[in-house]
Structure 1
Amino acid sequence: MSQLMGIYIISNDRLKDQSWIKQYEKIKGIFTNIESIYKKLKYHLHLSESDNIPIEILNSSSIIIQYLLKKILLYEIDYNEKSKRDFINFTREQYRNKLNVINEFEEDYISSRAIWWYTRKCFLYFAIDKAFRKQNIELLIKMGFFLRDVHQQINQSYNKIDNENEMIVYRGQGILEHELEIFKNHKNGFISFNNFLWTNIDRQISLSIARSATNNPNLFGILFRMKINSSIKYISLENLSYYLNSENEILFSIYTIFRIGKIKQIEDKIWQINLILVNDDNQQLKDYLQSIKYNEEQTSWQQLGFYFIQINQLDKAEELYKILLESNSINNSKQLTILNEQLKFIYNKKNNLIDSTLYFKTSLKNSSNDLLQNDSSLYLKYFNNGIRFHKENNLFEAVQNFKCALNIALHASEIVYLQIASLHYRIAEIYDEKEIFIQAVENYQSALENDLK
């Protein structure tokens, strides 16, 4: 009977006493016509399909990355109508057999119906699942406008409950044996569901989904029991979902974090994992994020890129910066300059001097247009970088950074000639060391001229 998902009884006479049905868990009801069975069956199939959201055991590094990526996707990027058009063009290439639904989305979509479209489980649902499962930053940014709309709809309409009261919701899904062992080994650790989190108030429905997962011999059924309160926003899908009978379903936004509690086996190949919702006031989370929160004047994408470089994930940093450039989601000249400067730094670290020079020239062009004028924080960054690279005998990088600092000093609203003289002198010293004597003499002369002003 393990492969039997449910029994639907059709009868012309609806029995007055249906209490006996409760003895048989797999009987879903008595129906008087095929249409009512179809609607109920469609709803149950929809429930069983939502059984495999990617789950991540979190450490300090993954918490920082998720925190910054969430800020970038939901708050920082300025999405517009072009964002939607670009995503639609992308999906037409990826989902050629779904063109009718894509065309409908193009014509009819409005942000106030984002949850309705998400719960429809059409191309949007599968594209989102694919992006989160593969942690594809490019695809997440492409569909960022839609992620933001769903998130905002949850925030604007969430069900507020008394902070002193708690609520229990459930989720059933399948996981592999080694994933179950990871849970057992990380009790009291943090986990997140890397997607919108779809849950149910009804334990039996979620348990049924967990049981159905064991039809795959490689999977264990997991019943997540989640203790929540109003510290995190969520929304009931009643009157919002594409499907009827969704009054027991609760939706949370992306990257909701829980702490792993008690884990116990409740049936053969079925385990219950208790989770406790973690809010932003959690001290351990605050400690993890302390290293990035002190620098709030930086954008989240700057912080994420710097963090990738810090943990030596240069490819990830390069991917992030290139996606932001190609998506045209960064329109601020100052930020574009920083973006190109960081790409230059990455290519230099990779010993790719051709691309490093290309992005340095682009950075310099942006900075000389209208930006970086009188920007003391960036001046100090370039100046200190120049000193550091000079000490490391990385003369190429030292010159480039001193030149960036010089460019800022020359375009400052209040020119400090001693500052300019000092920079020319440092550049001259490096050219002297490299035995490029003509440029060394030119910079020594410029240093003297500015010193005398």
Structure 2
Amino acid sequence: MLNKALRTQDIEIIIKMGFFIRDLHQQIELLHSATKNQGSLTVYRGQSMFNNEFEMIKNTLHNPDVKAILFQMEANPAFASTPFAQISNISYYSDVEKEVLFSMHTVFRIGEIEQIEDGVWQVKLTLTSDNDEQLKKVAERIRTEIGPGTGLHRLSQLMIKMGKFDKAKEISEALLSLASGNDARTTATCHHQLGYIDEEKGDLSNALIHYKQSLDISLTYLSSDDPSLVSTYSNIGSIYKKQDDLNAALEYFQRALNIDLHASNPDQLQIATHYNNIGLVLKRQNKDDEALKHYERALELKLAHLPARHPSLAIAYGNISGIYQSRKEYPKAPMYLEKTLEIKQKSLPPKHPSLIVTHRNMATALDGLRRYDEAIQHAQNAVDIARCTFEPDHSEVKENQEYLDALREKL
């Protein structure tokens, strides 16, 4: 049952079997410690399965999109930091299987991949250790991005990072149901997590409900200006902005900014994000002068704390150029658009969809300056990328082609 649950990512079963998984891991550690002096061993991945699973595999025969793979794994107990153990002597199937059991967080490095016979590929894997520098860097970055919390909370964060929002929601709801009535912090965290998941799925109404519940519960044990509430205020502001409740959005974005401005060790890039968020709302309210001040402050902070070609700077430059374009101050817009384009071209594939709007904006600015030849070139670039990205009858293709045709008529 557990094997199937792990293969199919049945979160409910995995959570209920948590006590068994912990106990099993501890037993593997004990067995592993007794075999550290043994030499390296080679194991192969085999699997028993139910009849219906086997029938599904049979139905994939002669399917060119499905490959048969044999994994060959090299594991040396002397160097491995992840425990594993031979369990032939204690396994229920000891008379028919020589089984090696690895702990759940085992990571292998892919080596050679070769075809050993018609339709069957062999993949050679080597067990990694804590001394693997590349793996350490990746693991540290992922841990930082996922953040602190309980095992289930971090698993939910990992599912979000992988784009598996339904699984993340299932985990967070399970964690919420397990939280006791007195565990306000866990309950608040779960509601915040569920709010983020619903926001990513486009369910703004439920997202706002969860964020508000998280905030209300948090305020039972935190002051309203506690730094740990910044992300909740900011996320609530984001929901209101998406719902076009701009005054409410501005209120919550401003709360987040005020807390970070008075922090003992402020995160300057987070402050830049707050300024940018407020600028976006002010722009929507047609308060261009105030929006520009916030965009410029955001750019100033980003320039002081980010590399010169960081993608986040492209957004800042683009926002400022948008203000100048909406005010028809065309001479000022191209300078910022050129910087936006330079960063995007160096950090994105040549035909990335986000380049469409940048080329179009550049064409519009140059059009306003009556530099039609240059405007046409950028408009043509926008059309070319749109055609590579969308179907011929897509609105992006049609609208950019119409603008290009209109520019050509001005020559």
TM range (shorter): 0.3 to 0.5
Comparing both structures, which one devotes a greater share of its residues to helix?
A: 2
Comparing both structures, which one devotes a greater share of its residues to strand?
A: 1
Does 1 or 2 have the higher relative contact order (CA < 8 Å, sep 6+)? Answer: 1
